[in-house]
Structure 1
Amino acid sequence: MPAPLMNDRDLEFLLYELFDAEALTERTQFADHNRETFDATLNTAKTVAEKVLLPFRMKADNQEPTFDGEKVHMIPDIKTGVEAIIQSGLASPTASYETGGMQLPAIVANAASSYLVAAGGVATGYTALTTANANLVEAHGSAEQIEKWVLPMREGRFAGTMAMTEPGAGSGLADLTTSATKDEDGSYRVSGNKIYISGGDHELTENIVHLVLARVKGAPKGVKGISLFIVPKFLVNDDGSLGARNEVALAGLFHKMGGRAQTSTALNFGEQDGAIGYLVGEENKGLSYMFHMMNEARIMVGSSAATIGVAGYQYSLDYAKDRPQGRLLSEKDPHSSPVNIIEHPDIRRMLLTQKAYSEGALALCMYGSRLVDDEKTAATEEERQAAHTLLDFLTPIIKSWPSEYGPKANYYAIQVLGGAGYINEHPVEMFYRDNRLNPIHEGTTGIQSLDLLGRKVTMNGFAGYTACLNEMQKTIDEAKQSQALAGYAEQLADTIATLKHTTETVLTATQSQNIDAVFSNSVKYLDLFGHVVIAWLWLKQAIVADAALAAQPHEADEHFYRGKLQAMQYFFRIELPETKHWADIVANVDTTSYDMQVGWF
């Protein structure tokens, strides 16, 4: 039997015991659903993952797409996988019935997606970006644009991308040079170059819809002068049929460390007369529209990182249970049989570390998805706004913490397998390579740290920051009612006090000290806040597990809940104390790295 892709029991726990996904069925948007339809969705995803995606996972990693100067070529299995995802309804499950979706809650869709990502994330990359593209156009585009571009994307006939990065402007979007000129018919001519565009060209669909950031001639400099355009690979006639090839040319493919089966492209727009593009919304508001997709993509990246972390943990756990080697130090008889390596203390340490990292990260991403559902469908405007405020604040952490600690979990998965972990007959080295992109994807960890400390903490009078602290305090108060958890609740309260002091101190420092020096430690602040949030979510899980154990469950569930408590204990005892050191660096405005001079390197 192959190792499980995901822990089915953990997904059940997250959906139904921790975040109460069943309660969402009481809302009009999800009234057609119940736990049976949710479980059916997960089972469908698991079947597609195991039967269609998993068999070609290693093949897709070993045989990258190629470009012959005219077309992209890739193994046919990828098209089979993409079509299976589309036909199962899993490509765009949260979309409304009217636009071809299943109108599922985001938290259920995220849980289902985890199976697909674990089995073949490269195939899901094409469909996930398409869904995010369609969601943006549906939110900010015209009725005509929805009809012309969104519906074919929902159907799987068109694919979608996000085209932001340029050779001279990556995270610094204020410096982008792609330009747009308005034509008499109301369309625009777009010219420029974009790089690292995931899924930028392929033959998997009839058409590809690029969402392109560009500056209209005469627009203000900086981010305030950026507009957003729909620029298709093929133009589309009024009757929906494909028209002429647009001036979107594939300049070449990039060859990545991981995620190799999803094309990473350099695209040239408008090499002659300009590629025909269609303005989304209003001129000069493109970045705000694109953030709709970027924030969705950031949650998607965090979820992918968490999932790959879990997949590596599941594989190394399965391996450790069946791999005999060596004897315990306490066993003095050289004639005794070797024990399975899971009996060795250091293997248990590495497995528990993986569990704490990956399951903590997955809980964070599932919580983010639950906030998406509340933001869109909660009963009152006040509740919807509260969810939006908290989600907006947590997004940098949802993106970055799993992206940093998912690969760390994969590192330990390789180590558990020893020499076997380093060869591609086992997937753990591929998991690490695939996951290593996530700290960079959709804004590096450094960018996320600047977003958190420089924007999100103080935004709207500290609204998100305060909301986050209040939610954590509710959990602390609840945990104090349990004799087994009261000490951990006090520890989290003390760490939050340190976080608050650090926040106040560093923000005060920005008023009197060099802002660049103060923010040179922003990643440590992100580490600090991220660890506090993960500790909070582990305490939330522990509350549920503690109560469940009091009800004397059957043996399998008892082991599951005790595993949750042990992982929580590990995180509080081993990981959370590190925040003290990070807090000291940030609060004291340590300038060791900032003071390093260029010539000294």
Structure 2
Amino acid sequence: MGEYVAPLKDMRFVLNNIVDLEGLSQIDTFSHAESDVVDAVLEEAAKLSGNVLSPLNWSGDQEKTSVKDGVVTSPAGWRDAYQQFAEGGWNGISAPEEFGGGGMPQAVSLATVEMWNSANLAFALCPLLTQGAIESLIAHGTEEQKNKYLEKLVTGEWTATMNLTESHAGSDVGALRTKAEPAEDGSWRISGQKIFITYGEHELAENIIHLVLARTPGSPAGTKGISLFIVPKYLVNDDGSLGERNDLQCVSLEEKIGIHASPTAVMSYGDNGGCIGYLIGGENNGMACMFTMMNNARLGVGTQGLAIAERAYQKAVEYALERRQGRAVGTPKGESAPIVRHADVRRMLMTMKSQIEAMRCLIYLNGESLDKGHNHPDPATRQSALDLAELLTPLSKAWSTDLGVELSSTAVQIHGGMGFIEETGVGQFYRDSRILPIYEGTNGIQALDLVGRKLALRGGEPVRNLLSEMAHYAEEMRGNDEGLNGIARQLDAAVTALKDATDWMYSNAPNDPNAAPAGATPYLRMFATTVGGYLLAKSAVKARTLLDAGDSDTDFLNGKITTARFFAAQILPQVAGLLGPVTEGADLLFAIDENNLVAS
């Protein structure tokens, strides 16, 4: 079974041509992120992902994580791999240097996140949540809390979790019942139970810092009455040493479709009345604090969708090159051809390749927007970048995770009957991918966020600006190159359809509360596909410029152009086809009485 190989050349191309890595390195915060430094970081990350994490992916899936008497045991090799990960400084690669982090731009750290998750998604879930907690502590923690917790979280000596979900509430966080009672010493006593807590208990690190949403006495109903608490597995003394075990435990682990090596815990707090927590961000301000962590996680989960699709693609290409079956055009009589020579298999592979490259452009650009939004010296540039990041985040999360499932399924299809047999390993990617559209707010929630909040952001200015930018680019790239002209024509048609859908949303949403939600999911698909086509168009233009300048890497650059042309010809036309579903309205969704949905 072939191991993961990081697509470093493609990653570098995106960082240097879609993302302005050189421009980021001109910002004081990222002055050390020069191209040679970034190249070295990516090379080392590729070694760890391919040599250490990837070989544990299949064995971890088969062995699974287990729990006995509240003690969770990870698969063989897991703990050593985590120690190598932490000792390499990978957990804090994008954290501020003042807290012991690497201070790298998110655009760069997302490339490493992609590698970890392609190599071993179940493993990579642990540091993904820790990084979100770091963001939340930096944004909302007191100086005392930062001093007590951040350094160990940044180094990876401790890990963190996000505790939102309760069995009766699901995505309705406002319905949670976990309680927080004030204590005389200024701390709080937490009581309640949370479900679906990723890495809620494990033995990889010496401490786990749980961030737990709970209600304080007399708090308002719904999300306005939620507060966030730091609840350590082991209490932390003033000198930073570990104290007593807190009153919390892992009750059980969920039996899941995939990510078997990742412990998804049911956590119980305060069974003995003594679970100690510490308020972060102020009372009744928990959702604002948690969204800092969740927005980080949403982009991270979108990267997981890209990553699992990349890994499934590598597996599918490997199989298609080796598996011989049937005669392809030009194959001598009596001989079978590698299935990669069959047109339909090539169609599936190109569908995977083109959408993976589009996702990578989108996600890395999303990271760059956050980098500029938080660090650029010019206020207007910061605001514009933050607006773009707000708009791109639901696209990155929902589109990429939907495609993670779809393209992993395509990889199974390329394997034919053997894809349905576990020993090939491709089925694991399909199983692992299925949680991603559910994580961090289901993709339906991402679509509602897009049409309900992001279209209205700053009076719709960010949306109008992006639509105008894409339309202008499609017009500008027309010229003497027929291949680029074809991309321009398809991009222009997609932008026109997306603009029509956007205008419909603005016109109809105020008049019918179900109008925008009914079309939200296909609208997000329209938007993300169009942006993906736009970014691949930019890739093609840059590749053509490099070829014209005499760049010797002709196969790679011509491949960039061809991939963009395929996406424009085969994927972008789907955008216009989604205009009808977006603008149909909600009447047909509710035309059948809910009691008659089941056939009699």
Distance (Å, rounded) in 1 between the aligned partners of 2:458 and 2:185: 41
Work out whether 1:563 is the aligned partner of 2:521: no
- Aligned twin of 1:12: 12
* C-alpha distance in 1 between matches for 2:365 and 2:424: 31
Q: Is residue 583 of structure 2 the alignment partner of residue 581 of structure 1?
A: no
Q: CA deviation at 1:233?
A: 1.1
What is the CA-CA distance between 1:518 and the residue it aligns to? Answer: 4.6
CA distance in 1, matches of 2:461, 2:78: 44
Distance verdict in 2 for CA 1:3–1:319, change over 3 Å: farther
Answer yes or no: is the 8 Å Cα contact 2:33–2:105 preserved in 1. no
Determine if the alignment matches structure 1 residue 345 to structure 2 residue 343.
yes
Partner residue of 1:509?
508
Query: Partner residue of 2:298?
Result: 298
Shift of 1:482: 5.8
Which secondary structure state, in structure 2, belongs to the residue aligned with residue 462 of structure 1?
Answer: helix
Secondary structure at the aligned position of 1:218 is classed as coil
Partner of 1:528: 526
The CA RMSD measured in Å over matched residues stands at 1.8
Q: Which moved more, 1:5-14 or 1:141-150?
A: 5-14
* Matching residue's letter, 2:451: L
| 2:147 is the counterpart of 1:155 | no
Is the 1:312–1:413 contact (alpha carbons within 8 Å) kept by the matching residues of 2? yes
Q: Note the C-alpha offset of 1:477.
A: 4.2
Corresponding position: 1:34 with 2:34: yes
Aligned-pair CA distance for 1:110: 1.4
Structure 2 unaligned blocks of 5 or more: none
Shift in alpha-carbon separation, 1:469–1:511, aligned structure 2, 3 A = same
Counterpart contact for 2:70–2:252, Cα < 8 Å: no
Pairing 1:88-103 to 2, within 5 Å after superposition = 88-103=88-103
1:595 equivalent in alignment to 2:553: no
Kindly state the Cα deviation for residue 593 of structure 1 after the two structures are TM-superposed: 2.6
Shift in CA distance, 184/409, structure 1 to aligned 2, threshold 3 Å: same
Identity of aligned residues (%): 34
- Please report how far the alpha carbon of residue 456 of structure 1 lies from its aligned counterpart in structure 2 after TM superposition: 1.0
What number of residue pairs does the alignment pair up? 596
Q: Distance in 2 between matches of 1:346 and 1:161?
A: 44
Query: For the Cα contact (< 8 Å) 1:392–1:464, is it kept in 2?
Result: no
**TM-score under structure 2 normalisation?**
0.95
Give, in whole Å, the separation in 1 of the partners of 2:287 and 2:411. Answer: 39
Stretch of structure 1 that moved more, 343-352 or 175-184: 175-184
Q: Which residue of 1 aligns with 2:499?
A: 500
Q: Give the superposition deviation at 1:3.
A: 5.6
Q: CA deviation at 1:590?
A: 5.1
Which residue pairs with 1:449 in the alignment? 447
1:545 aligns with 2:543: yes
Residue of 380, 395, 399 corresponding to 2:378: 380
Per the TM alignment, residue 398 of structure 1 is displaced from its structure 2 partner at its CA by 0.7
Q: How does 1:432-443 map to 2 (within 5 A)?
A: 432-443=430-441
Report if the CA contact (8 A) 1:549-1:558 is conserved.
Answer: yes
Task: Please give the secondary structure, in 2, of the residue aligned with 1:167.
Answer: coil
Deviation at 1:552, TM superposition (A): 4.2
Spell out, residue by residue over 1:261-320, the C-alpha distance to the aligned partner (whole angstroms, 9 max, x if none): 111011111123252111112111110111111111000000111011011112211222
Contact 2:135/2:296, CA 8 A, preserved across alignment: no
Indicate the residue corresponding to 1:86 in structure 2.
86
Task: Please state how far the C-alpha of 1:390 moved relative to its aligned partner.
Answer: 0.7
Counterpart for residue 143 of structure 1 = 143
Q: 1:572 to 1:76 in 2, by over 3 A?
A: same
State the TM-score, normalized to the length of structure 1. Answer: 0.95
* CA 1:467–1:194: 2 relative to 1, 3 Å: farther
Aligned to 1:214: 214
Contact 1:107 1:373 in 2 (8 A): yes
CA deviations over 1:212-271 (Å, ceiling 9, x no partner): 111111111111111111111111111212112212121110021111111101111112
Aligned pair 1:201/2:193, yes or no?
no
Q: 1:446 & 1:527 partners in 2: Cα distance?
A: 11
CA contact (8 A) 1:302 1:365 kept: yes
Is the 8 Å Cα contact of residues 302 and 400 (structure 2) preserved in structure 1? yes
Q: CA deviation at 1:378?
A: 1.7
What residue number does 2:252 align with? 252
**Contact 1:3 1:318 survives alignment (8 Å):** no
Kept after mapping to 2: 8 A contact 1:356/1:568: yes
Shift of 1:7: 2.1
Q: C-alpha separation between the residues in 2 aligned to 1:495 and 1:39? A: 35
Aligned to 1:354: 352
Aligned residue identity for 1:136: S
Q: CA deviation at 1:461?
A: 0.8
Alpha carbons 1:253, 1:266 under 8 Å: kept: yes
Alpha-carbon spacing, 1:115–1:588, altered in 2? closer, same or farther (3 Å): closer
2 CA distance for matches of 1:125 and 1:81? 14
Shift of 1:487: 4.0
Residues 50-61 of structure 1 aligned to structure 2 (within 5 Å): 50-61=50-61
SS, match of residue 120 in structure 2: helix
CA contact (8 A) 1:216 1:227 kept: yes
Per-residue deviation, residues 331-389 of structure 1 (Å, max 9, x unmatched): 5x533x32221111111111001111212112111111111211122231111111111
1:233 maps onto 2:233 in alignment:
yes
Change (3 A) 1:266 1:345: same
> What per-residue deviation string (whole Å, max 9, x for no partner) do you get for residues 493-531 of structure 1?
332222222222233223333x13552232111112121
